[in-house]
Structures are given as C-alpha cells and as structure tokens.
Structure 1
C-alpha cells in the first residue's frame, strides 16, 4: 500500500499558500477536506504535526481554520515531509528468512543501509525546495497544459 501522507500534506500546504496570497484568511477544515477530496477529521489530524512544527496556525471554533504560520518561501518541502511521515522509513525490510547462502544473513543490514542512503537523498532534495517553489512550478505546469500554450 502506498503512503500518501506527504502528498496530502503538501496539497494542504499548497492550498493554504494560495489562500495566504489571496487574502491571508484562514481556511476551514471542511474547505480543505473538499479541496483534498477527503473528510474534515483526516484534515484536522493532518494539520496537528504541521502545527506542532510551526508551519501552520490553527484556530478553533465556528469561524476557525488554518493558515500558514510562516511565508511559503520559508517553508521547505523537507519540513512538510518530516511532519507528514515522521520517523517511518521509506521502505520496510522484509522479515528475516532462512539463511540458505552466505549472503542472506546480511540482507537486512544491507537493506537498512540502502534505505538510509535513499532517505538522506530524499531529504536533501526536499530541503532545497520551498513551498513557494512548488507553487511556482505547479503554476508553470498549469500554464503549459492550457490549450494554445507553447
């Protein structure tokens, strides 16, 4: 099963970034849920770690909602990823199997090292990109996909 927590968190943050550009108002969990095609309770659970990390500010109540706590240009995708995924590794090693050759006893250690290398590369890539960069890139993709665009 694929883990979609990061993509959902990124979509929510992008939506909040657009709202910040428009008028800076808060966005209700209901409106975010509708935009993400999910339910309000999942959105609220998604916002908790983002708020704890200082990326989102939330207010409760009838007129409450969420908004970016910092400008989009100061929020890295690595921060969003860490909030969404936490300490969960990208890959899980398969359970130990019977050691049938000289190599299999070391498969788990090799895979753990490989996973650490990949996670480090992912974090490095995401660290160099901000939420504002992502918004700019997506707007470029939207322009390019319009009929009549070069």
Structure 2
C-alpha cells in the first residue's frame, strides 16, 4: 500500500509538533521547513484538529500543538480516516459498484485482508515512536549509537 501525500503530511505535522512540544508551531513554519503547500497543510491541520490530534490557537501568538501526548496518538488513528476516503480499488469501499467483474471477483477478499494488515501495523506505533526513530537515525548518521531498546506495541 502507498500513503497519500495527505497522510504523509499529517504524520509529518504530528512528528514536528512532538519534537517541538515546548512551543506552538505555525502552518507557515512547517510548510516552509518541509516544502509543503500552505494551502494543503491548512487542510491537513484542520482535519487533525477535527480528529482531536492537534489544538489550534488563532491570533498573534497563535499556532498549533499536539492536543495529547505523542505516545497516545496511534498512527492508524491518524491515517485510517484519510486513506479510507481513497478507495484501494474500484470495488472499495463495499457497495461502490464500479467494478464490472464484482460478481466473480477473487481480489476483493485479498485486498481487504491486505488493507486490514496495513492498518493493524500502523496501530502498533505511535507518533512518539516516529520521533524516537528520527532521533536514532540522526544519531546513527553522526556515528552515535541509539540509547536503549525501541518500543513496539
């Protein structure tokens, strides 16, 4: 499976906010840092706010920050609502009826199983796990060893 840009941006925003949890970040700051369209990022942040993952503050000292600790935000909970809006195949979601071979199709159960496994894997990890992996990767690139075992869920 392949993540949409929308999902990838959502995860990037959450990791950025987790790394910079001591302060609010702005859409402009995140967009400029990662080369993302501000317009697209605004939509992503709006959805993250609606889902309860981030809180937004308007005004001069406004910005966005995580609404909950990074260790409590499961990747599946972030990605699932976004990716479910994008069908895996013409016959997804159920009842779409766009497939001409639906009555004799053998792919649907296999694709449904693959989609279930994909989200189950994402459900095992949190935003904090991504932050930790980023820090380990940065440390390894400078010749440093990771400190302690990686968490898995």
What TM-score do the two structures reach when normalised by structure 2?
Answer: 0.78
Q: Does 1:93 align with 2:90?
A: yes
User: 1:45 is matched with which residue?
Assistant: 43
Aligned counterpart for 2:125 among listed residues 111, 124, 129: 129
Instruction: Give the direction of change, closer, same or farther, for the CA distance of 1:9–1:2 in structure 2 (3 Å limit).
Output: closer
Instruction: Give the direction of change, closer, same or farther, for the CA distance of 1:87–1:2 in structure 2 (3 Å limit).
Output: closer
Instruction: Give the direction of change, closer, same or farther, for the CA distance of 1:52–1:86 in structure 2 (3 Å limit).
Output: farther
Bigger radius of gyration: 1
Q: Does 1:138 align with 2:138?
A: no
> CA RMSD for the aligned pairs?
2.4
Residue 128 of structure 1 deviates from its aligned partner by: 0.9
Segments of 5+ residues of structure 1 without an aligned counterpart are: none
In the alignment of these two chains, the number of paired residues is: 138
What TM-score do the two structures reach when normalised by structure 1?
Answer: 0.80
For the residue of structure 1 that corresponds to 2:64, the secondary structure is strand
For the residue of structure 1 that corresponds to 2:132, the secondary structure is helix
Instruction: Give the direction of change, closer, same or farther, for the CA distance of 1:70–1:88 in structure 2 (3 Å limit).
Output: same
Question: After TM superposition, what 4+ stretches of structure 1 lie above 6 angstroms from structure 2?
Answer: none
Segments of 5+ residues of structure 2 without an aligned counterpart are: 92-97, 146-153
Is the 8 Å Cα contact of residues 51 and 57 (structure 1) preserved in structure 2? Answer: yes
Higher helix proportion (structure 1 or 2)? 1
